[in-house]
Amino acid sequence: MTRRAVPFAALAAIALITSAHVGSPDTYFEGAAGPYAVRVIVRSPGVVPGLAQITVRLLSPRDARRVLVLPIYWDPRTAAPPPPDVAQRVPGDSTLYSAALWLMTGGSYGVQVTVEGAAGSGTALVPVIAVATRRLALDRPLGLALLALGAFLFVGAVTLIGAAVRESGLEPGAEPDRRHTLRSRAAMGVATVVLALALLGGRAWWNRVDAAYRTGLYEPFHATATVRTAGDGRVLRLAIDDTLWTNPKRQWTPLVPDHGHLMHLFLVRDSTLDAFAHLHPLPVDSVTFEAALPPLVPGHYRVYADIVHESGFAQTLVATVDVGGQARSWRPTDPDDAWLRTGEEGRGTGLSQTLADGSIMTWERGAAPIVVDQDAPLRFSVTDPAGKPATLEPYMGMAGHLMLTRDDGAVFVHLHPAGTVSLAALETFALRQPGDTIRGRLAARLTEMEKAAGTGEQGAVSHRNVLPPAPSSLSFPYAFPKTGHYHIWVQVKRSGRILTGVFDALVQPAS
């Protein structure tokens, strides 16, 4: 596959080690398995086939007798799934269960988590992406041990062949003569050559397999972002110019709307991180998306674009773009579009932020440090200017959205109160039928369902009057995958206005 160079090559390299999200391959989910509230974490193996580690924590006080986990591949044409595995209770913690799941094929899976207990049985569905992103290195001590064992077997095989030729035809107790000895030495020489050639052939075969695996390592689609002037405003264009996507023989399934949008695009001003935008470009054709660019300050920006395929496969495209002088006007492409420049709304230095409408967003993180790979205290509350709990509205069907990035761009994640999972991916598994073997059939049905839910301005799905008011406090299940300094944006909606709070976080290594 050809790749065109882009600025900040390190940012592009980061994208090669992940699928949905950047630098954060694990899946976090919090929701209900029937009457049981659960938090599920699936640790990606990074190789396919590979063994994924899954933990299930029961958040409700109900007693559970058994927890079952079962990975189901997205394609209904595959064989029936095997029986579920029984998760084992972790010693010392009566609410935590653990299991290991084999993910045999690359692509998207729906992991069914079933809890059985006194309140009956309930199942939660967790979308998981299985992609090969790395090669497992052979430990040097193990390699030396295997080399010594191989040499021992090689010498042993040659010795056995020589002994068989020299002594197999002799009477018991007879000594081999010169003829038998010469034949034995000749046989050992031939055996050495044959076994050496077999080893060379095996090495060549292994190198071919390794090369094929290397070429099959997952890479997100290449995309290019540009800005053009349109009247008094500017337009951001994102083109998926990867040959794997533009090839008419491609096997990728169509895109499906997630929270009512085919694409969620985020702009973060590089280095300073003092400007941010959350946009929803509209498709111009099958490879190009465009959105009106808000009046962001000039600079170099990182671009992240979330998309979801009909198969449930979610991925984040990565690009960069240079933004010049500010536009004189901005009319949002979608009513859910929002942007912010730190200093105009919220500051990234404290635990309480004054939002654009005067309400206060507070990060209830506590005094404990944030530690890598441990549950992060991402809980936030919003109060009105009078100090009372604010009445929030669903923002694109969720109580809120959280975006976080490490300063160097090595991590970028888009979170919901349900975790890192995509709502569209969840829908594709929940609504897939045995007859959905034709590309586009399920995507068309999902699109029609989005339209039936009610459409707002410019075709964007409106969730007003569909979902109840959001709570005044919200939390996001997650664990930071790397140490370092992070920037966090939390978006909620109040009185029809999208509000953004900005926070800083320092993630420390585990002791």
Q: In the chain, how many domains are there?
A: 3
What global pTM score does this model have?
Answer: 0.83
pLDDT tens column, 269-303: 998 898 999 999 999 988 999 999 999 989 999 99
* Cα 54 from Cα 43, distance rounded (Å): 6
Q: Mean pLDDT lowest for which of 48-57, 95-104, 320-329?
A: 320-329
Q: Which one-letter amino acid corresponds to residue 4?
A: R
Q: What is the mean pLDDT of residues 181-199?
A: 93
3-class SS of residue 314: strand
Task: Please indicate, yes or no, if residue 229 is contained in any of the structural domains.
Answer: yes
| Residues 296, 392 within the same domain | yes
Instruction: Determine the pLDDT at residue 402.
Output: 96
Are 113 and 147 found together in one domain? Answer: no
Q: Are residues 116 and 162 in the same domain?
A: no
The enclosing domain of 107 has a CATH number of 2.60.40.1930
Q: What residues make up the domain containing 193? A: 140-215
Identify whether residues 195 and 56 lie together within a single domain: no
Joined together, the tokens standing for residue 150 give 């191989």
The answer on 378 and 426 residing in a single domain is yes
What is the C-alpha separation between 262 and 400, in angstroms, rounded?
19
Are 297 and 326 within one domain?
A: yes
What is the SS3 assignment for 48-79? Answer: CCEEEEEEEEECCCCCEEEEEEEEEECCCCCC
235 and 199 in a single domain? The answer is: no
Tens digits of residue pLDDT in 36-70: 999 999 998 888 888 999 999 999 877 889 999 99
Domain boundary among 151, 185, 215: 215
**75 and 175 together in one domain:** no
Q: Which two tokens stand for residue 333?
A: 């492409």
| Residues of the chain above pLDDT 70, percent | 90
Residue 16, domain member (yes or no) = no
